[in-house]
Structure 1
C-alpha cells in the first residue's frame, strides 16, 4: 500500500521522506505501526503504537488507527520539546531578593 493510499484511508500525512512501517507485534492479534524518518543511511524510528486488530472494523481501520495514534504521540512529544526549549530562559538560580 502506498503512502497516498494510506493517507486517503485516513492516516495523517507525514513530512516529506518520512513513512509508516506496519509489522506484527509480539502479542497475538496485534500490529505495530512505526513512524520512521530517513537518515543518511537507512531510517530512524520516531514514534510507535501497538493496535489490536480485533478492536476495529477491519485490518485497514486498525492500521489507520495505529497511524493516528503514533502521529498524535509524536506531535505531543514535539510540542513538549518546544515548551521545554522556551523554559530555557528561566534556567539558573533565582535569588530570593530579586536578582539572578
Structure 2
C-alpha cells in the first residue's frame, strides 16, 4: 500500500493530453492477430489500439486462450475483443457527456 501511495504521489502531475482538432472527434480502433504464432502451444496473439481523435487512449496485446483453427478465426477473436473494449470506451465517453458524431470504426488487416 505504501508503494502504491508513493507512486500516486509521484505521478500526480501526469496526465493524458487530448488535442482538439478542427475535424469532429472520432473513435478509431486497429486490430490484428497472428495465427498460431506461439510454437509451443500453437496459440495466437492478438492486439488492438484505440485512438480518440489522434490520441492513443487504449491498447492491449495478449495471447488468445484457445487455439484458433484458422487465421480467420484468430482475426475474428481479435476483432471481438477490440469491439468489446471499443464499446466500453464509447460508453465512458457518453457518461462524460462527450457523444461522438459518428460510429466508431475498427480497422483490421483481414
TM-score normalised to structure 2 length: 0.39
Considering fraction of residues, name the structure with more helix.
Answer: 1
Q: Which has the larger radius of gyration?
A: 1
